[in-house]
Amino acid sequence: MPESSPSVLIIRLDAIGDALALTPLLAALGADAVPVDVVLRRGNAGVFASRAVRQTVIGDFKLRSSDRATIDAIEALGRELQTQRYSHVLVATEDPGGYRLARATGAPVRVGFTHVWGKPFKTLWTRQFLTRSIHRSAGEDHCKPHECEVLFRLAAPLIGEQEPTRDLARLRPLVLEAEPAPDERVAVQITDKW
C-alpha cells in the first residue's frame, strides 16, 4: 500500500446496536477502497461479516476507568496497533478509553466528538487526544441527526459519499455472511440499559 493511501481504525466501545450504526460508514469507506479495522468490545466483536472490515480488534480494558491497570492496557494495545501505521483513527465512542487509545496508536489524524457547551470540561479533556473534533449534541435534541449521520461526519474527508446509504443490498453483506432462510422469528435486543 502506498504511503499516501489512507487506512482507518474506528474505535467503537459501545453496545451491539451502536456498533451496527457504523455499517453505512463501513459501506462508504469500502466503496472508496479504504482499508478499515475496528476496535470493539468482546461482546460485539462478531457483529460484522468478514468482508466488512480488514480486522476486528478486541478492546479488553475496563470502560470509564482511569486506574493504572486500565491505562497500561490501553497503552499496550496502542503500541500493538502502531504497527498498522493508520493514517486516521476515528473515535466513535464516548468512553475516555477510546480517546486514550486513539492517541496511543500514534496516528497523525485522530477525529472524535466534542460537546462544547453540553460538556465543556470533557471537551477540553478530549481535545488533548484529537487532531480534529466534530461537534455533537450532548443533550436531548429532537432535531439532532441520526447516529449513522453523526458517525459519517467523522470520515467526511475520506469518503466520496455525502450521506449514509440506506441501500440494504450494500448494507446487508457487511453484517451477514450469507442470506438467512426466511422464517417467522422476531429478534429483540435486551441490554443492561433497559
- For the domain that residue 30 is a member of, what is the CATH number? 3.40.50.2000
DSSP per residue over 7-27, as a string? Answer: -EEEE--S-HHHHHTTHHHHH
Rounded distance, CA 25 to CA 49, Å?
Answer: 14
Residue 142 lies in a domain: yes
What's the structural domain count of the chain?
A: 1
Burial call 61-72: b when 16+ CB within 10 Å, e when fewer: beeeeeeeebbe
Residue 146 lies in a domain: yes
Looking at residue 97, its pLDDT comes to 96
Residue 2 lies in a domain: no
Within the chain, residue ranges assigned H as helices are: 16-20, 23-31, 68-82, 96-104, 120-127, 147-154, 168-175
Please report the sign of the dihedral spanned by the C-alpha atoms of residue 39, residue 42, residue 44, residue 48.
positive
CA distances from 101 to 37, 56, 104, 109 (A): 14, 15, 5, 13
Looking at residue 1, its pLDDT comes to 37
Residue 107 lies in a domain: yes
C-alpha cell at 135: 461537534
Rounded distance, CA 90 to CA 186, Å?
Answer: 33
Residue 69 lies in a domain: yes
Residue 171 lies in a domain: yes
Enumerate residue ranges in the chain where pLDDT < 50: 1-3
SS3 69: helix
Residue 28 lies in a domain: yes
* Host domain of residue 37: 8-175
